[in-house]
């Protein structure tokens, strides 16, 4: 299969919507990372996502919709969910909600769970595509399973382990502004719970709810704690965390202007936006990688989560 690179203009968007209607997979820009999208009501199209990514099929996918009304057609929003949706959508927040019986979502999307992960993306190209296609779009990050998430169309098509030749097209809208995946909130035991730190700081969500979020406990590799596979986002090179630079290593840090600076000014939002691209570049450099300590507040929590997975022991 030859993978088309489409620009995010009217022609490219129409072509992408067409391919999705035909049951093909298209990589699409969102404000967090590029997603590999397919019509969530079409089981065969969704199966193509798993196939292209080589993803374990027990891992459920996030479904993207244009607005809260479209979310309500698929899931039940209780008052807390509604409050978060109104405050943070469109944006980098995924809510895991009870799936409606009449949703028509392919069960492969939810891996048979009674819940569904929903997100209204803010990226203008994602919004335009959702409106042009009219379909709810299942879209995990557009990388091969276990690899670093893509924050540009070039990452999606990377000849080393990317999806070139495995998907119909990529809609190219340049780099993703947030750079780490969405924050995931669910209510597994009735309490609002942080399932994955991400592009919206947990502190902001707690402020909106007026209460602390419960922490997620459980076996990180169990299917009931999806996406929490321990080794994930993995570069090929060994990775040391909370590290000072050593000779012979590529060091990612703060306040050291140069090609591997996460942020010259120590800005965690800028560091999140650069993180995956820098990890890829450092990996291409071929030397062991070390990363300076990252403050664990705000977007630092999401950065540290991704770095721990990148450094985790591999099979
Ligand atoms: O920013 C993002 O969230 C990106 C962009 C493309 O939207 N998407 C993304 O998808 O990161 P993915 O598939 O790489 O991660 C989805 C996470 C996984 O941990 C998955 O298991 C979890 O969401 N998830 C999806 N549906 C769920 C459900 N019903 N219950 C629990 N977790 C769910
Ligand atoms: Mg992913």
Of 180 and 224, the one with more pLDDT: 180
By alpha-carbon position, which residue is closest to atom 12 of ligand 1?
A: 140
Ligand in closest contact with the CA of 233: 2
Q: How many C-beta atoms surround the C-beta of residue 238 within 10 A?
A: 11
Q: Which of 151-155, 191-195, 234-238, 269-273 is least confident? A: 234-238
Ligand in closest contact with the CA of 32: 1
> How much is the average pLDDT of 179-207?
97
> What integer pLDDT is reported at residue 57 of this predicted model?
65
Conformational region of residue 116, where left means phi above 0, alpha means psi within -120 to 50, and beta covers everything else: beta
DSSP code at position 289: E
Q: Give the three-state DSSP class for 186.
A: strand
Q: Which of 21-25, 84-88, 90-94, 159-163 is least confident? A: 159-163
> What integer pLDDT is reported at residue 225 of this predicted model?
40
What does the alpha-carbon distance between residue 283 and residue 5 come to, in Å, rounded to a whole number?
25
Give the ipTM of the model, two decimals please.
0.98
Handedness of CA 260, 150, 196, 55 (dihedral sign): negative
> What integer pLDDT is reported at residue 111 of this predicted model?
85
Please report which confidence band the pLDDT of residue 61 belongs to, taking 50, 70 and 90 as the band edges: very high
From the list 170, 167, 227, 173, the residue with the least C-alpha distance to 197 is 227
Is a pLDDT exceeding 70 seen at residue 42?
A: yes
> How much is the average pLDDT of 209-235?
65
Can you list the domains of the chain with their CATH numbers? 4-215 (3.90.870.10), 239-311 (3.40.50.11030)
By alpha-carbon position, which residue is closest to atom 13 of ligand 1?
A: 140
- Give the model confidence (pLDDT) of 289-314 as tens digits: 999 999 999 999 999 999 998 888 76
Ligand 1 pocket list (CB less than 6 A)? 30, 32-33, 35, 59-62, 94, 96, 110, 113, 115-117, 119, 139-141, 181-182, 184, 186, 196, 226-227
Listed residues: CB within 5 A of ion ligand 2: 141
pLDDT above 90 covers a percentage of the chain that reads 82
> What integer pLDDT is reported at residue 258 of this predicted model?
83
> What integer pLDDT is reported at residue 223 of this predicted model?
41
Q: Which residues pair with 39 in a beta bridge?
A: 137
pTM of the model: 0.91
Please report which confidence band the pLDDT of residue 231 belongs to, taking 50, 70 and 90 as the band edges: low
Instruction: Write out 22-33 in H/E/C secondary structure.
Output: CCCCEEECCCCC
Q: How far is the CA of 221 from the centre of ligand 2 (A)?
A: 14
Please report which confidence band the pLDDT of residue 219 belongs to, taking 50, 70 and 90 as the band edges: very low
Kindly give the pairing relationship between strand 289-291 and strand 239-240: parallel
Is a pLDDT exceeding 70 seen at residue 315?
A: no
> What integer pLDDT is reported at residue 207 of this predicted model?
98
Q: How far is the CA of 180 from the centre of ligand 2 (A)?
A: 10
Is a pLDDT exceeding 60 seen at residue 133?
A: yes
> What integer pLDDT is reported at residue 313 of this predicted model?
74
Of 130 and 314, the one with more pLDDT: 130
Q: Provide the token pair at 286.
A: 């071929």
In testing the pocket of ligand 1, which one of 140, 198, 222 has its CB within 8 Å of the most ligand atoms?
140
Q: How far is the CA of 87 from the centre of ligand 2 (A)?
A: 24
Q: Which of 112-126, 128-142, 224-238, 292-306 is least confident? A: 224-238
| Range list of H helices, the chain | 10-21, 43-53, 68-72, 79-88, 107-110, 124-133, 153-156, 202-209, 268-285, 300-311
Across the beta sheet with 93-98, what order do the strands follow?
Answer: 4-7, 169-172, 26-28, 35-39, 137-138, 62-64, 115-119, 93-98, 183-186, 193-196, 214-215
- Give the model confidence (pLDDT) of 262-290 as tens digits: 999 999 999 999 999 999 999 998 999 99
> What integer pLDDT is reported at residue 49 of this predicted model?
93
């Amino acid at each position: 299969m030859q993978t088309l690179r489409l620009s995010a203009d009217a022609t490219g968007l129409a072509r992408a919507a067409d391919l999705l209607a035909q049951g093909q997979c298209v990589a699409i820009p969102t404000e967090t990372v590029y997603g590999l999208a397919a019509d969530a009501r079409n089981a065969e199209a969704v199966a193509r996502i798993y196939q292209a990514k080589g993803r374990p099929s027990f891992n459920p996918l996030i479904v993207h919709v244009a607005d809260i009304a479209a979310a309500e057609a698929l899931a039940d929003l209780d008052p807390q969910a509604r409050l978060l949706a109104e405050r943070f959508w469109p944006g980098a927040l995924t809510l895991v909600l009870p799936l409606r019986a009449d949703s028509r979502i392919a069960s492969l999307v939810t891996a048979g769970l009674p819940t569904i992960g929903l997100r209204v993306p803010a990226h203008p190209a994602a919004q335009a595509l959702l409106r042009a296609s009219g379909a709810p779009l299942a879209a995990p990050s557009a990388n091969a399973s276990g690899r670093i998430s893509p924050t540009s169309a070039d990452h999606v098509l990377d000849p080393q382990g990317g999806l070139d030749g495995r998907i119909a097209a990529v809609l190219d809208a340049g780099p993703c502004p947030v750079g780490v995946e969405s924050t995931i909130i669910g209510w597994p035991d009735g309490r609002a719970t942080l399932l994955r730190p991400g592009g919206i700081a947990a502190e902001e969500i707690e402020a909106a709810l007026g209460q602390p979020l419960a922490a997620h406990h459980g076996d990180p590799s169990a299917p009931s704690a999806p996406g929490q596979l321990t080794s994930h986002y993995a570069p090929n090179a060994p990775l040391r965390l909370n590290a000072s630079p050593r000779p012979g290593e590529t060091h990612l840090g703060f306040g050291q202007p140069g090609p591997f600076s996460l942020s010259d000014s120590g800005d965690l939002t800028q560091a999140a936006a650069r993180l995956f691209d820098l990890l890829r570049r450092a990996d291409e450099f071929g030397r062991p990688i070390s990363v300076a300590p990252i403050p664990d507040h705000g977007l630092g929590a999401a950065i540290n989560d991704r770095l721990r997975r990148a450094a985790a022991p591999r099979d």
